[in-house]
Structure 1
């Protein structure tokens, strides 16, 4: 059965930790005080909790008040807890590799795989089959990996639609009013990299995690394979800022029709374009800078838009910071981090710095407890961390405002061997990529946090770069995480650290808008080259 949850949260601080999830409250119980300064902004959340198996219906959720799904300031993410439902087609399909498009339109049945993993499900056969299909999808995605270098276009042109400004630029122009207590405009400076962070050095910026759409657009306009004649193109990029579109409605009491209006207008516009109709959008790509859940509104929740549920949106590839695992054309790509190299030398200098850094902490956790979330393991992790003694584990309490600045997060991760990365209201965390870019080995508790998300940027052999501890074991108090990590040998630790720094790190960062990388491929280059490989398979 599908599950929705409502969570109590206190007033958002002006700056909050990178990448933590959102909460929600009922319209009938909430009074939203809009457009007042952050200093006096106060919203009292009245908490109503339903049992784990109850579907919340009837009342529309209009307000989501901060935990940490947004980087540094506020939170805006899934209004109800994201659930991964097993599609009917998965139960009856033996393989997806025959034709990846035949599984694009998944209908769902009310069997839930929660973001806490499959262990809570009694229908073991369905779950095992579903996980098998997800893994097959990831193998398919990995088959599209390309060895091509930037500039080796080989007759494959990239066409960028010149959309009417209401689909992108005009949304950026609303940066002061997206949410009532924050000004996004400073994050959209420097071609969406944000303001510099001098304390961390060159190439470090206050990059907002929801700036991916703008960053990608800026880079792709300068791609060497870009063509201006659609007849010369094999790949078509649609620069629709769908994340900003959905973001602006999170805190406004508007109908679903209003939320969906711009997406529907976009599809009407695309249907008039010959390249779109020629292949029904199969050679088109969208970049959406929020999680898939935000674009899959259902009848059980008023959160987000229906963009990715629309029939005409099933064929294109959708690149997201968190994919919906049952949709083969959803592909996860890294969250933007704060580091944006311009040259190979920038990457090499950073690699040398973090491989030599003094990691005085064995373990660290930057986050906040979730006392109202009975199935979340954060409180257990915090207790194990703070009681470890001998300085083994450092806890940075983000609920007290200690994670206000990126410097505090990055410096903590640079001083730590292992970084705990439990899920929040959705499985993924920006903090995962912050830890990897800092050379800190992530400790994961849910395979949906990374292993089922980023097939182009993270290897299938996750033991090369991470430690996995089943959150069910943590929840049942069968494992002490600090003791478990203490038992990891120095050789294993060193091998993982070197793999992260020298193999993974370059491909997890987005270079600046004018990046000149020759020895390395960054996250953007890997993504575009793999898209070309994929579109080549369609011919």
Structure 2
């Protein structure tokens, strides 16, 4: 009796087909609906965009969330806002897109989002970029709020460096860390203290230690001459999960009646001549043109209703510097279609080039030098009132076209919404550009120079055509 044909066929195939690719060299295979496809062939467009998420001990990330309220000197509890992978609790039970988001929890938020990246590989040797899921700002809390460690802030993050050198050291040494990146949920200023500072001031030395000079660090604010960091938008409270919810919000912002010329939402202003004091004085004298929302003592931090409704009613939102040059309010205002008025160029133009086009700020914002207001007698209401209404409408439209690029969509969002690049997507695009330049320089033995003007490029900007009918 002749042997069955099927077993013979299987045996023949086993002989002829080479061994499968070892698991250690295999790519992750995302779900079909998660794949980013190229315009030409419909295949996954992952060439040059593979990310490896480095496996770190829990002491560098998730365990830090368990002790985030262990510091009595902190102004308010932090742990409640770690809900929903860093988005925070919903603003109310029926909310679908609005959360009480705390910017200090941006690290777990982006970590969760990167776990959905369509081009992940378990093999670091095949990765174009390596993400370190290190919650650096949470790990800094003991050095900032625990008195026994105040004088040890230069030690912040050193255990991470020792781990990278001892656990699979070839991963870090392959490109000397130039292909590694992480998130730092805070302004770079707070992590730039000299390691040998005496006396020790506020902050840690993470960004000033040579051990970390080669990393790319995503921060909420960057320094005037950054080396390793690049600023990304402060997270707002708006995190839609579907294209329909984003479209509905943008439609609301477009049709909103702007009954107030300008709005200032913030606190401070005392202590001599300063821009905030000048703004308050002008608003108090021109209540017909200016509205103020008092956000003193952090009352607005986790309550977006306090300021989003006034922003929807205002044509311009004043964005003076505070303790640091940039304000989260800038990005809240962009989502509301409230045209930002800046008083320092470092407040946004010189920082957020991956998300807001540096050479087109005049299209969606107004710049009034603070010296002209504080010492030169310039009235902000006069400057803004002189802008023709048609120009104001055009600026608002351009601003709302940029809004999706500063929004952090919810993890697990719909395929339609994932087709639009949000703040995380644009940040990762920028990371790839920076790493490619550094690796090319490293391989050609050239001096590694970071030029943000070259890194920004035009491939990350959101044009109206990218919004897929959101107008």
Q: TM-score, normalised by structure 1?
A: 0.69
Structure 2 CA distance for aligned equivalents of residues 220 and 227 of structure 1: 12
Asked whether the 8 Å contact 2:373–2:380 carries over to 1, the reply is yes
Change (3 A) 1:394 1:402: farther
Q: Which of 50, 62, 83 is the matching residue for 1:189?
A: 83
Q: Does residue 366 of the first structure (1) align with residue 260 of the second (2)?
A: no
Kindly tell me the number of residue pairs found equivalent between the two proteins.
390
Change (3 A) 1:444 1:148: farther
Q: Which of 344, 352, 363 is the matching residue for 1:454?
A: 352
Q: Which of 278, 281, 303 is the matching residue for 1:383?
A: 281
Asked whether the 8 Å contact 1:413–1:438 carries over to 2, the reply is yes
**Deviation of the 1:371 alpha carbon:** 1.4
**Deviation of the 1:248 alpha carbon:** 3.8
Greater gyration radius:
2
SS of equivalent to 2:103: coil
After superposition, give the CA deviation of every residue in 1:88-134 in whole Å (9 maximum; x if it has no partner): xxxxxxxxxxxxxxxxxxxxxxxxxxxxxxxxxxxxxxxxxxxxxxx
Q: Does residue 515 of the first structure (1) align with residue 413 of the second (2)?
A: yes
Asked whether the 8 Å contact 1:212–1:336 carries over to 2, the reply is yes
Larger helix share, 1 or 2: 2
**Structure 1 spans left out of the alignment, 5+ residues:** 1-146
After superposition, give the CA deviation of every residue in 1:263-318 in whole Å (9 maximum; x if it has no partner): 11111111232121111111111110000011111325421111111112111111
SS of equivalent to 1:250: helix
Corresponding residue for residue 180 of structure 2: 284
Write out aligned runs for 1:213-252 (5 A): 213-252=107-146
Q: Which of 454, 469, 487 is the matching residue for 2:386?
A: 487
Corresponding residue for residue 210 of structure 1: 104
Asked whether the 8 Å contact 1:361–1:417 carries over to 2, the reply is yes
| Higher alpha-carbon deviation: 191-200 or 508-517 | 191-200
**Deviation of the 1:255 alpha carbon:** 3.9
Structure 1 CA distance for aligned equivalents of residues 347 and 48 of structure 2: 37
Corresponding residue for residue 325 of structure 1: 224
Q: Does residue 427 of the first structure (1) align with residue 427 of the second (2)?
A: no
**Deviation of the 1:375 alpha carbon:** 5.0
Corresponding residue for residue 306 of structure 2: 408
Structure 1 CA distance for aligned equivalents of residues 128 and 63 of structure 2: 28
Structure 1 CA distance for aligned equivalents of residues 180 and 192 of structure 2: 19
**Deviation of the 1:518 alpha carbon:** 4.0
Structure 2 CA distance for aligned equivalents of residues 366 and 195 of structure 1: 23
Corresponding residue for residue 65 of structure 1: none
Structure with more contact order per residue of length (Cα contacts < 8 Å, sep ≥ 6): 1
SS of equivalent to 2:163: helix
Change (3 A) 1:401 1:220: closer
After superposition, give the CA deviation of every residue in 1:46-81 in whole Å (9 maximum; x if it has no partner): xxxxxxxxxxxxxxxxxxxxxxxxxxxxxxxxxxxx
Corresponding residue for residue 169 of structure 1: 62
SS of equivalent to 2:111: helix
SS of equivalent to 2:280: helix
**Deviation of the 1:161 alpha carbon:** 1.0
Structure 2 CA distance for aligned equivalents of residues 492 and 156 of structure 1: 39
After superposition, give the CA deviation of every residue in 1:488-532 in whole Å (9 maximum; x if it has no partner): 11111111100011x200110111121232441111111112322
Q: TM-score, normalised by structure 2?
A: 0.78
Structure 1 CA distance for aligned equivalents of residues 365 and 102 of structure 2: 25
Structure 2 CA distance for aligned equivalents of residues 500 and 448 of structure 1: 19
Structure 1 CA distance for aligned equivalents of residues 365 and 93 of structure 2: 28
Asked whether the 8 Å contact 1:200–1:407 carries over to 2, the reply is no
SS of equivalent to 1:226: coil
Asked whether the 8 Å contact 1:369–1:382 carries over to 2, the reply is no
Corresponding residue for residue 340 of structure 1: 239
**Deviation of the 1:437 alpha carbon:** 1.1
Write out aligned runs for 1:64-75 (5 A): none
Asked whether the 8 Å contact 1:217–1:239 carries over to 2, the reply is yes
Asked whether the 8 Å contact 1:417–1:441 carries over to 2, the reply is yes
Q: Which of 420, 428, 433 is the matching residue for 1:533?
A: 433
**Deviation of the 1:152 alpha carbon:** 2.1
CA RMSD of aligned residues (A): 2.2
Structure 2 CA distance for aligned equivalents of residues 170 and 182 of structure 1: 20
Structure 2 CA distance for aligned equivalents of residues 189 and 470 of structure 1: 40
Change (3 A) 1:361 1:308: same
Structure 2 CA distance for aligned equivalents of residues 157 and 536 of structure 1: 12
Q: Does residue 198 of the first structure (1) align with residue 92 of the second (2)?
A: yes
Asked whether the 8 Å contact 2:156–2:205 carries over to 1, the reply is no
Structure 1 CA distance for aligned equivalents of residues 212 and 419 of structure 2: 36
Asked whether the 8 Å contact 2:321–2:347 carries over to 1, the reply is yes
After superposition, give the CA deviation of every residue in 1:180-218 in whole Å (9 maximum; x if it has no partner): 453222200011111112399421000001111111101
Corresponding residue for residue 478 of structure 1: 377
SS of equivalent to 2:83: helix
**Deviation of the 1:425 alpha carbon:** 1.3
